[in-house]
Amino acid sequence: MNPLKSVNGAILTSLLLMAALSFALGGSGFSVQNLDRWLHIASGVTWVGLLYYFNVIQVPGLADAAADKGGPGGVGIGKYIVPRALFWFRWAAVATALSGIILIEFAFRPLGGGFMQVMALKEGFTVIGVGSWLGLIMAFNVWVLIWPNQKKVLGITPATDEQKATARNVALLASRTNFVLSLPMLMCMTGQSHGLPF
Ligand code: HEM
């Protein structure tokens, strides 16, 4: 049985490889903080990777499909791809936000900056504070604006054609807002400990 032939098998293989490399390269003992940081980055990549897929690939692709009158249309994408992508998208957002908040406590509480102080942009924590605000606003957009409106578009929540058109527009603008916030957010995430580019 080749594990690379199933998604679960590939995920498991990657996790095992990660653990094996961690033992081989470091082996200095189990660190919850470093495991949390790794989870934060892995879930953040999943979330923001899908955000970029939606904005750069799927939305323009579906617009082309709608304009292509003799073409196959986008019904299959809406039925088979979008629900799957949205599942990973919204739960990766939760994992990123939670692991990020825990990381604040691990990394900055000993330096005088717990969650409340970081969110209040206490001196010395302004860069990660701004980054955390941007990340949490993005997570809010996912759960309060994008997902409930996508449920109407996909027919999971009943809606008239007019309500679906409004929902599509709100979800698109919220997703575009997250797209715009993502690069400054990432700059702040890495900027706190490694410096800002300008
Ligand atoms: C949702 C709210 C978020 C919170 C509260 C948060 C919090 C944090 C914290 C506390 C750190 C540690 C900074 C340091 O040690 O200097 C960090 C680092 C980082 N975060 Fe986030 N984050 C959030 C969202 C995201 C998202 C969406 C991404 C997307 C990929 C992301 C990617 C990163 C990266 C790459 C680092 C750098 C790790 C390092 O330099 O060691 N974060 N974040």
CA of 164 to the centre of ligand 1 (A): 34
Torsion angle defined by CA atoms of residues 77, 80, 86 and 89, in that order, rounded to the nearest 10 degrees: -100
CA of 105 to the centre of ligand 1 (A): 12
Rounded to an integer, what distance in angstroms lies between the CA atom of residue 59 and that of residue 13?
32
- Measured from the CA of 138, which atom of ligand 1 is nearest? 1
* Residues 113, 125 contacting (CB under 8 angstroms): yes
**Which pLDDT belongs to residue 75?**
94
Per-chain mean pLDDT for the chain:
97
When pLDDT is averaged across residues 49-63 and rounded to a whole number, the result is 97
Please provide residue 28's backbone torsions phi and psi, each rounded to the nearest 5 degrees.
-95, 20
pTM score: 0.95
Rounded to an integer, what distance in angstroms lies between the CA atom of residue 167 and that of residue 190?
34
- Residue nearest atom 10 of ligand 1, based on CA coordinates: 104
Taking only the tens place, the pLDDT of each residue in 134-165 is 999 999 999 999 999 999 999 999 999 999 99
CA of 189 to the centre of ligand 1 (A): 4
* Residues 4, 13 contacting (CB under 8 angstroms): yes
CA of 101 to the centre of ligand 1 (A): 9
**Which pLDDT belongs to residue 11?**
97
Rounded to an integer, what distance in angstroms lies between the CA atom of residue 101 and that of residue 106?
9
Asked if the model's pLDDT at residue 26 lies above 90, the reply is no
- Residue nearest atom 31 of ligand 1, based on CA coordinates: 44
- Residue nearest atom 19 of ligand 1, based on CA coordinates: 189
Asked if the model's pLDDT at residue 28 lies above 90, the reply is no
**Alpha carbon 69 to its chain's center:** 34
Q: How far is CA 184 from CA 63, 76, 111, in A?
A: 28, 34, 24
- Residue nearest atom 6 of ligand 1, based on CA coordinates: 100
Taking only the tens place, the pLDDT of each residue in 169-194 is 999 999 999 999 999 999 999 999 99
Torsion angle defined by CA atoms of residues 105, 106, 109 and 110, in that order, rounded to the nearest 10 degrees: 170
**Which pLDDT belongs to residue 130?**
98
CA of 38 to the centre of ligand 1 (A): 10
Q: How far is CA 37 from CA 1, 99, 115, in A?
A: 33, 7, 16
- Measured from the CA of 182, which atom of ligand 1 is nearest? 27
- Residue nearest atom 24 of ligand 1, based on CA coordinates: 135
Give the domain ranges of the chain: 1-29, 31-194
Rounded to an integer, what distance in angstroms lies between the CA atom of residue 78 and that of residue 84?
10
Nearby residues of 130 by Cβ (< 8 Å), 6 or more positions away = 121, 188
